A = this chain, B = another copy of it.
Amino acid sequence: MNRPATIEDVARAAGVSRQTVSNVLNAPGVVREETRERVKEAIGRLGYAPHASARRLRTRRSSTLGIHLDPYAGGISGVVLDRFVHALTEHAGERGLRVMLYAARSPEEEIRRMADLRDGGDIDAVVITGTFHGDPRAQWLIEHSVPFVAFGRPWGDDDVGAPAHLWVDVDGAAGTAQATRHAIATAGPRVAFLGWPAGSGTGDDRERGWRESLPAGVEPVRLTSPENVATAREVAEQALSSEAFDALVCVSDSLAVGAHLAAVTSGRPGLLITGFDNTPAAEALGLSSIEQLPEQVARGALDLLLAGGRDVTLREIAPHEAHVLVEPRLVVR
């Protein structure tokens, strides 16, 4: 049969009325067991699927998550978010949920897109990424009672003890602490840090992991570059000629690639340099890097949203179950 089976096809195949098939689907208790089995057998044999639109209209559930996809902006680390979307799609499918994408170029446009999808019944819940302090998206979602989970913590007063909403994140400080301890054991105690300008939640968190892992008595050497290979290379070249350090922990793979190029041209090709994000670029150059495990982040996001079941429900937030903090893993090369 070329067209999808209809409820009439099932009724004819099972020798019952259309209403009986409908009862089996929606109120099975009112149908005799023998009849119920016959209808179920016909449904299975014909591959009948009640039309999604009808199902949705009845339940007002789309079983669909919305997620924003940024315009592609180049750069090395975008791959982490893409891996997260890949993993989310896979695990959502396993749990009977669909994933719908939407594009937006600003938080305000993102709110308009979320509102359209919510008003149209196209989505039940939203996954937001790239959260920042005072994020208007989170505020809008809370005000409009739309279930959501954020990849990225709210960066508020007490994210862990009293989180403002469901979130899953990677423990950046734990990652740079691993990298720093490994560098101390392998290369020596004077481990420098190449980070972004202060003020970004993610960057400051990663810096803290390094700073807190330095041995007492070691003067911290802190270099700064924006997320840009060429600038990182210049900054690292300058530092290699003026500062003494045994190894370099970087806030991102982009900065690590820049530092690696500087080390090669400065006659220190063996300098231990660690990146963050474990991107294909770091892998290709043989650089150690901290792996964010976006697959675990995706699973954590779904666990929070589904609260153990299949229903997407807005949960009462209780500390210790309102967030998932994934411990990243140092990949040594």
- Selected interface stretch from A18-26, A30-38, A117-125, A206-214: A117-125
**Inter-subunit contact B89/A69 (CB<8 Å):** yes
Give every chain B residue within 8 A of A79 (Cβ-Cβ). Answer: 78-79, 82, 280
Within A66-110, the residues touching B (CB, 8 Å) are 69-72, 74-76, 78-79, 82-83, 85-87, 89-90, 93, 98-103
CB proximity of A316 to chain B, nearest CB, Å = 18
- Selected interface stretch from A44-52, A217-225, A301-309: A44-52
**Inter-subunit contact A280/B57 (CB<8 Å):** no
User: What is the predominant secondary structure among interface residues of chain A facing chain B?
Assistant: helix
Each complex incorporates copies of this chain amounting to 2
CB proximity of A274 to chain B, nearest CB, Å = 16
A280 to B119 CA separation, bound complex (whole angstroms): 38
Contact (A52, B284) CB under 8 Å given A85-B101, A93-B113, A144-B2: no
Give every chain B residue within 8 A of A118 (Cβ-Cβ). Answer: 4
Q: Name 12 A/B residue pairs within 8 A (Cβ), A-sorted.
A: A51-B57, A51-B120, A53-B54, A69-B90, A75-B280, A78-B82, A98-B122, A100-B100, A101-B101, A229-B283, A257-B285, A280-B280
B-binding residues in A (CB < 8 A)? 2, 4, 47, 49, 51-57, 60, 62, 64, 69-72, 74-76, 78-79, 82-83, 85-87, 89-90, 93, 98-103, 113, 116-122, 143-145, 229, 254, 257-258, 261, 264, 279-281, 283-285, 294-295
